[in-house]
Amino acid sequence: MLSMIFEQLFDTKSSTYTYIISSGKGREALIIDPVIEHTEEYIKVLKNLDLKLVKVIDTHIHADHITALNELNKRTNCTRIMGEKSKSEVIDLKVKDNEKINVENIELKAIYTPGHTDCSYCYVMNDRVFTGDTLLINGTGRTDFQSGSPYDAYDSLFNRLLKLPENTLVYPAHDYNGKRNSTIEAEKNNNPRLQVSSKDEYAEIMNNLNLSNPKMMDIAVPANLKGLTLDQL
């Protein structure tokens, strides 16, 4: 009997988590939120597990690293996927809210979750959800650039993600404190940004974070929109 392959890889420079998922060795695979500097690592993992990469997903246009979507497409001819609101110029498949993505016995459902950006999507797979930068562990994604909105983020969090079963595992695109996952229940109870009683209260918190822009933002955003590969950087 085949057992699911679930690899969680970490980029220390941008604190980004990347996920390689397959229903078993020798089968088709997908990758979520890959970082271009780790392309060779992903290729090695795929080869070692005899996996065929067929789909690669970005949860949103990233501002803190350059995606490996296009490099992986160049290397493996995999299908590049983002949500239909994405402004990327090189996506092969844009999924709608509640649309399903299938890869050989693996099924993900897209959920449109604007707020961090206006093109942010999360992906539900059985007992877990890949939350991108919308919901972090003990935090939430900033809303002050890329057409972000704290009001949209509040709706995405409280009316979409926190409506999932409480035992749903949360796998974010980033963590800055060494944590690998959480649950919806734990975030409801412990996440300080979710202990609010209204949209306005949440917006007040988010509008006063006073964060500096990501160091890679001026390079990463245009590169990710245009789909640059390693030889074009």
pTM attached to this predicted model: 0.97
| Count of domains observed in the chain | 1
Region 111-124: what's the mean pLDDT? Answer: 98
Can you give the pLDDT at residue 4?
95
The closest alpha carbon to 108, from 77, 83, 78, 130, belongs to 130
Question: Which residues are 9's β-sheet partners?
Answer: 18
Q: Is 69 part of a structural domain of the chain?
A: yes
- For the chain, how many helices (H) and strands (E)? 6, 14
CATH number at residue 70: 3.60.15.10
Residue that has been written with the tokens 């695979």 in this structure: 29
Residue 160, amino acid: R
Region 127-136: what's the mean pLDDT? Answer: 98
Q: Is 222 part of a structural domain of the chain?
A: no
Give the domain extent around 67. 5-211
Q: Is 228 part of a structural domain of the chain?
A: no
When pLDDT is cut at 50, 70 and 90, the band that residue 2 belongs to is low
- Residues 53-76: pLDDT tens digits? 999 999 999 999 999 999 999 999
Q: Is 82 part of a structural domain of the chain?
A: yes
Beta sheet of 100-103, edge-to-edge order: 100-103, 106-112, 121-125, 128-132, 169-172, 182-183
Cβ atoms 123, 110 nearer than 8 A: yes
Q: Is 221 part of a structural domain of the chain?
A: no
When pLDDT is cut at 50, 70 and 90, the band that residue 228 belongs to is confident
Q: Is 223 part of a structural domain of the chain?
A: no
The closest alpha carbon to 80, from 229, 188, 186, belongs to 229
Tokens representing 41 are: 């690592």
For the chain, the average pLDDT equals 96
Q: Is 169 part of a structural domain of the chain?
A: yes
- Residues 30-42: pLDDT tens digits? 999 999 999 999 9
Question: Which residues are 20's β-sheet partners?
Answer: 7, 31
Q: What is the DSSP string of 39-106?
A: HHHHHHHHHHTT-EEEEEE-SS--SSS-BSHHHHHHHH-PEEEEETT---SS-SEEEPTT-EEEETTE
Helix segments in the chain, DSSP class H: 39-48, 69-76, 150-159, 184-190, 199-206, 217-226
The closest alpha carbon to 34, from 23, 20, 24, belongs to 20
Q: Is 224 part of a structural domain of the chain?
A: no
